[in-house]
């Protein structure tokens, strides 16, 4: 054994060939990741519907925050929830931009109409999207710019 080399060979005491720990390729299992990391398991369809519904309702209450967090956390958990969180995020980014434009133009008095319209559109389309998600249907928001692609 050379200086700095741990017992058990060149891979250390837990490397391949050491009886204390077997790697996935030695066990005949699927791919494993270092440090115990496992890719997220897909959600059941009813859980995907629930999270999609909560994302749309959360978007009504907290604008971009809830759809952004939901998209980042749930996008790998199923196609249904990925599509709904992506659609909600795109819609609420679009509505946030429209709200900022409305806030900037309030000195022209048209801004008040824009801000009120944004609030109404956000609530109406958010409720429609939440109902569609709860029923297991895909929903595409009108007036939405596609910032986040598939």
CA 126 to chain CA centroid, nearest Å:
17
Alpha-carbon distance of 62 to 33, in angstroms, equals 35
Per-residue confidence at 31, pLDDT binned at 50, 70, 90? low
Q: What is the pLDDT of residues 72-130, one digit of tens each?
A: 999 999 999 999 999 999 999 999 999 999 999 999 999 999 999 999 999 999 999 99
Over 80: is that where the pLDDT of 10 sits?
no
Q: What is the rounded average pLDDT of the residues 15-19?
A: 48
- Output the CA torsion sign for 96, 98, 102, 104: positive
Q: What is the pLDDT of residue 37?
A: 76
Tokens of 74: 């749930």
Q: What is the pLDDT of residues 106-120, one digit of tens each?
A: 999 999 999 999 999
Alpha-carbon distance of 141 to 134, in angstroms, equals 15
Q: What does the domain layout of the chain look like in residue ranges?
A: 45-134
Q: For the chain, give the mean pLDDT.
A: 84
Q: What is the pLDDT of residues 41-69, one digit of tens each?
A: 889 999 999 999 999 999 999 999 999 99
Q: What is the pLDDT of residue 39?
A: 78
Nearest to 68 by CA among 79, 57, 53, 55: 55
Alpha-carbon distance of 95 to 2, in angstroms, equals 65
Question: DSSP per residue over 95-139, as a string?
Answer: HHHHHHHHHHGGGGSHHHHHHHHHHHHHHHHHHHHHHHHHTT---
């Amino acid at each position: 054994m050379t200086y700095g080399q741990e017992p058990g060979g060149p891979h250390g005491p837990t490397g391949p060939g050491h009886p204390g720990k077997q790697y996935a390729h030695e066990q005949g299992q699927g791919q494993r990741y270092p440090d115990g990391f496992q890719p997220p398991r897909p959600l059941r369809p009813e859980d995907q519907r629930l999270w999609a519904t909560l994302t749309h309702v959360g978007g009504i209450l907290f604008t971009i925050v809830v759809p952004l967090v939901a998209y980042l956390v749930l996008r790998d958990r199923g196609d249904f929830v990925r599509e709904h969180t992506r659609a909600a995020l795109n819609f609420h980014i679009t509505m946030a931009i429209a709200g900022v434009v409305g806030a900037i133009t309030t000195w022209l008095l048209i801004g008040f109409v824009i801000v009120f319209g944004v609030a109404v559109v956000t609530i109406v389309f958010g409720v429609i999207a939440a109902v569609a998600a709860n029923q297991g249907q895909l929903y595409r928001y009108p007036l939405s710019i596609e910032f986040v692609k598939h």
